[in-house]
Structure 1
């Protein structure tokens, strides 16, 4: 999933690379900032901006810094654990900073930070931190195969710490991916589930002619919302989305199926597994393109998350997916910067 024709060498409107304004070309910056004004069309069912829209903005900012660094077309490979700490309101000025913190041979690990605030005072009054996550992009050549990227060498204590954080999460990410590959989703499951279908339209296209990664994440958020809302009978919002892995590109004109299934409930959180498949509508073959786990909650009038009725597994597949969700919580609890404390796992609060 990628975004821009690099041959144009023009950054999207709103991109503010570090050092911009001098008018003299310089070395690629490892930081790019995009700004968006949250519009009424971004309003979600919860009364604030949908998580899917925020993920679209995150993907665009991460792409902007990746393509500038790599000097090549780039594709989204992975979006790490994103916690939505506070809602973004319609009318807010939203700033998404994307910072390269580590590079592999062909990959760029990008730390994205979302802040927002009143546009009338933005820049003079400290903005409120809304979310943060790690995004991985891979540079590819004209043949679609990965190509090397320049090495990023951290030079400050903060950059070294961020690099170490990104490197430490590689093993955690591998464990999560291995766990997700071991489970199956069949008709033997009995939990709340929903399948949304879309036609990948020309308006969904990215700069590489495929479906924009941010669009896919927006579809994931919609499916998780429908599934969790049906289960609890109230509007829900995403508070966490983890392990969004892109396996293959999703093509314009293809039929897309986004399947969301409830696999675990804690005290307040509804854990929803989402699998995205696509294929040529002229055939019946659908291939897995993306999957992830999203945690949804419902809130009272004050915005406080409230308890939901527990889901009890019935079939063997239910029990396997229930155990899988708890395994993922345990894996993430070991990660640096983790926000899923082991004591909450033990008490079943998630």
Structure 2
């Protein structure tokens, strides 16, 4: 691991055969785990205290990471609030025999510094000193309003048995192997669970193996503890021309109480690919119940909100309407 300058950390390693998932390349969940680890290292280096993942912004998985690839994950603190750090994270990979890594994905991750009592604490203010740093700061600030709109749109959505769409629920205990440096479940592990549940849901719906091409609005509401019962619910809420939009909620709670509380929520877009690696059309899903229609409209609203973020636009299937 190298660190230069003080607000930036780069992790470098080879993608191992054990990192390969169902698609034959590294799953999105594993990439998100790497992103969270690098961002955590940058956050702790800046805050000089323990930090927790609060939010992971939109991340597109344009190209696969393969076994044996040289992987670089660079995390740079680009903006600070009172206790929060907005960290621009870039994942690059490539065959080490063929030259340098190529950028595969990037996103903003927000960490919050916390003290020994678990309450947020102030962090040093970042003052960008170069034109590039100023642009990165301004881009992070411009995304704050969009992120707040996404969080507000996601808040209060209900998922009940009245929905008729494809749905899967994974249940298990959070094990000591999932622990982070604060004694709780690592945020990257939670995102890996999200990817696995979305994979099962999308694959059941279309009848073919699927891969994630996008994950967004990953908000961590409360910590998930080792030994807790975990429930990961993934539900199809919308289909575009090729993408299956899967809403995923993670709930957890003590096995002695029987009560599960929402810890994390996000929306993942999955696709199925042909032998050449190109995404192919999927059967359109049509909402049936009132809840189906509400969640279908919710997914379209999120697409429109994200389309207003810097550098983003509406998907082609919405532009044609």
The normalised TM-score by structure 1 is 0.90
Residue number in structure 2 paired with 1:194: 168
Mapped pair 1:245 → 2:189: no
C-alpha displacement of 1:141: 0.3
Deviations 1:263-288 (A, max 9, x none): 00000000000000000111210000
**CA distance in structure 2 between the aligned counterparts of 1:287 and 1:34, rounded to whole angstroms:** 34
SS of match in other structure, 1:41: helix
C-alpha displacement of 1:342: 5.8
Deviations 1:138-192 (A, max 9, x none): 0000000000000111111111111011001111011001100132100000000
Residue number in structure 2 paired with 1:347: 320
Deviations 1:218-247 (A, max 9, x none): 000000000000000000000000000000
Residue number in structure 1 paired with 2:184: 210
The correspondence for 2:23, drawn from 46, 50, 53, is 46
Residue number in structure 1 paired with 2:96: 119
Q: Is the 8 A contact 2:241 2:317 kept in 1?
A: no
The correspondence for 2:4, drawn from 1, 4, 18, is 18
Residue number in structure 1 paired with 2:14: 37
Q: Is the 8 A contact 2:240 2:317 kept in 1?
A: no
Query: How many residues in Structure 1 have an aligned counterpart in Structure 2?
Result: 321
Mapped pair 1:94 → 2:71: yes
Q: Where in structure 2 are the equivalents of 1:213-232 lying within 5 Å?
A: 213-232=187-206
Residue number in structure 1 paired with 2:308: 334
Q: Is the 8 A contact 2:70 2:101 kept in 1?
A: no
SS of match in other structure, 1:194: strand
**Gap runs ≥5 in structure 1:** 1-14, 20-28
Residue number in structure 1 paired with 2:239: 265
Residue number in structure 2 paired with 1:8: none
Q: Where in structure 2 are the equivalents of 1:42-191 lying within 5 Å?
A: 42-121=19-98, 125-191=99-165
RMSD: 1.1
**CA distance in structure 2 between the aligned counterparts of 1:344 and 1:164, rounded to whole angstroms:** 30
The correspondence for 2:255, drawn from 265, 281, 298, is 281
**Gap runs ≥5 in structure 2:** none
Moved more, 39-48 or 320-329: 39-48
Residue number in structure 2 paired with 1:4: none
